[in-house]
Chains A and B, each alone.
Chain A
Amino acid sequence: MATVTRPVATAPENVWATRPPRSLWGDAWRQFRRHRMAMAGLVVFLTLIVASLIGPYVYTVDPNTVDILSAFQGPSAAHPFGTDDVGRDVLARALLGGRISIAVGIAAMLVSILVGAFIGAMSGYFGKADGPLMRLTDMFLALPPLPLLMLIIFLFRDPLRAALGPVAGIFILVVGVIGFLTWMPVARLVRAAFLTLKQRDFVTAARSVGVNDSRLIFAHILPNALSPVLVAATLGVGAAIITESALSFLGLGFPPDEPTWGRLLFDAQSYIDFSPHLAIFPGLLIFLAVISINYIGDGLRDALDPRKTG
């Protein structure tokens, strides 16, 4: 990529020994650290992940213990997030719900990135595939995502639940459908990067020494097309968390006993007039997750933008 202009021989040899060469990702990280909100976002998001992963082991209140006598309690020392309609502890449920919500977000993003990168790479690298694949992308862009998601999940959740179990079945369905309905922007980004990169000298050089198509695509061009994908991937996690929560909020997500953040909000709706804490805590968690991810994406975009690296 950029040619490193080293000072001529006058520099003593040991200067290079003490100062390791700057890499693209090292530069990006240094730049990223300067973005205060992005760093704050990173800390918040990592905290949410850690909390939902090890939280249930530290905060050992059982999320499924029903205690009708202490239903609808507001936040207190015993129940920091209060209790729900049958007296279950909301904090314990929110911690558990975080696992599913964040896992859905990350997994759906991975599906969408893999599909998008594959279609974008094929379309940008092979001229013949470009027309049909881009028409496919345009068609997918015209599909209304939320109605279609609702429809597919409603129609196919029962057979999948029967085949794979209540949680795994819905997880695969939600992740798969979100992934397959959101890959289009990634495909366009990757295609655009491939179109310019494949004309570069380093690709011609690699091809002239006999590198085959698949190695050229995956080892030479794709790594150089990753930075826009990384930003899209980060923002994709937030969007997928919102989508999953929206589906659960409409009653079309995970089964009732699986407390995802959206599901907790859906359940809270009926009691909103006298137990607003039931809605506020899960809602705040969704908001915190999404805004921290968006700030991370913002920081990454600035850090990876070659025009801004100084």
Chain B
Amino acid sequence: MGRYILRRLLISIPTLFVISAVLFTILALAPGDPMAQFALNPEVPPEVRERVKASLGLDQPLHIRYAKWIGGIVTGDFGFSFATRGPVTDLIVQRLPNTLLVLGVAYTISVLIAIPIGIISAVKRYSLFDYGATTLAFVGISVPTFFTGLLLIIVFAVKLKWFPFLYDSRVVVSDLNTLGQQIRQSIMPITVLTLFNAAQLTRYVRAEMLENLPQDYVRTARAKGLHERPVIARHVLRNSLIPVVTLIALGVPTIFTGAIITEQIFAIPGIGHLLVKSIFNTDTPVVLAITFLFAALVVFFNLVADVLYAVLDPRIRYS
């Protein structure tokens, strides 16, 4: 087992290298000067611009810059932002809690909703409940998150005035009052992400349950006189959850990219919001860092999914 994990880990490293090289090349080949902000400013004399360029290491050839960048990443240093002149790592660390809070809560609620609904839907197939749940799930995966977000704002912020329009990041939870404020402003973004992810997960759970229900081992369990409840909970559910758990792991990077749009709608200052802002500002180091982090998330959760699958399913051999 340990050796299997180690080998999978070693395979991920070259993937990350290739991805980092691709990202770096795209940004390096991009037309337009990454120093445009300085170049356009007539106040900056040319020799100062050259000095700034040299201080940021931009006067060196591409492969050296790449090597330095990669060397920095290993130690957790993503360079300096063009916009704030501060370390990129600080910027990301500052924004990360906002993103993690909304995403974490939304994904947890999605899983907690999706599993029971998926189970009931599959067990009572073709019932009114199943019909309602599958239709809702279908609608859920078909509404783009940016439209759900705008609809929620129209209904709950503009018309009903239940929740604030935009997210206020200055709220620091110190007492019951600010806690309520934090909860109220988090409800809409969390709902948007929850609706989409719960819909998708419900479909997975239902499909996996339906895959397992007609199997021989289920008939055997019933034939030996087991009640329906233990048959479902102990036999069918446990087998169905193996692929679902890996799908939940594989879905984590996707929900992070989904956060880009949600954070944009509600103006949550998370890393997705930072990414969009940095792209428009041509803040190359920040863009590189966040895109690379997203790619690293994908690679990491692929690894987690594979390992989980191997741990949960004894039929999988680690060779």
Contacts and interface: CB of A to CB of B under 8 A. Distances in A.
Contacts of A148: 23, 26, 291
Interface in B72-97: none
Contacts of A156: 30-31
Nearest to B302: A142
Contacts of B298: 141-144
Contact of B260 (A141, A146, A238): A146
A294 B142 contact: yes
Contacts of A43: none
B195 to A, nearest CB: 13
Interface in B118-161: 138-139, 141-144, 146-147, 150-151, 153-154, 158
A144 B276 contact: no
Contacts of A269: 150, 265
Given A286-B144, A291-B138, A158 B31 contact: yes
Contacts of B30: 155-156
B32 A245 contact: no
Given A276-B158, A294-B142, A246 B261 contact: yes
Interface string A147-164: 110111011101100000
B279 A143 contact: no
A31 B295 CA distance: 41
A272 interface: yes
A147 B15 contact: no
A147 B260 contact: yes
A152 B279 contact: no
Contact of A249 (B154, B253, B261): B261
A280 B245 CA distance: 36
A276 B154 contact: yes
Interface residues of B, number: 44
B291 A144 contact: yes
B19 interface: yes
A302 to B, nearest CB: 13
A213 interface: no
B103 to A, nearest CB: 15
A295 B137 CA distance: 12
Contacts of B154: 272, 276, 279-280
A305 interface: no
Nearest to B297: A144
A67 interface: no
Interface string B252-266: 010011001100110
A22 to B, nearest CB: 28
Interface of A: 138-139, 141-148, 150-152, 154-156, 158-159, 238, 242, 245-246, 249-252, 262, 265, 268-269, 272-273, 276, 279-280, 283, 286-287, 290-291, 294-295, 298
B300 to A, nearest CB: 10
Shortest beta-carbon contacts, A-B, top 8: A144-B294, A291-B142, A155-B30, A283-B147, A276-B154, A142-B298, A146-B257, A290-B142
7 contacts: A144-B294, A147-B291, A151-B26, A151-B287, A279-B147, A280-B154, A283-B144
Contact of B146 (A147, A155, A159, A245): A245
A150 B276 contact: yes
Contacts of A145: 257
A158 B18 CA distance: 27
A70 B168 CA distance: 34
A250 B276 contact: yes
Given A273-B158, A279-B154, 18 more contacts: A142-B19, A142-B298, A145-B257, A155-B27, A155-B32, A156-B30, A245-B146, A246-B261, A250-B264, A251-B280, A262-B146, A265-B147, A272-B150, A286-B144, A287-B147, A290-B143, A290-B144, A294-B141
A37 to B, nearest CB: 8
A139 B147 contact: no
Nearest to A298: B138
Contacts of A238: 142
Interface in B1-31: 15, 18-19, 22-23, 26-27, 30-31
Contacts of B264: 249-250
B26 A272 contact: no
A139 B18 contact: yes
Contacts of A272: 150, 153-154, 158
A287 B142 contact: yes
Interface in B261-318: 261, 264-265, 275-276, 279-280, 287, 290-291, 294-295, 297-299, 302
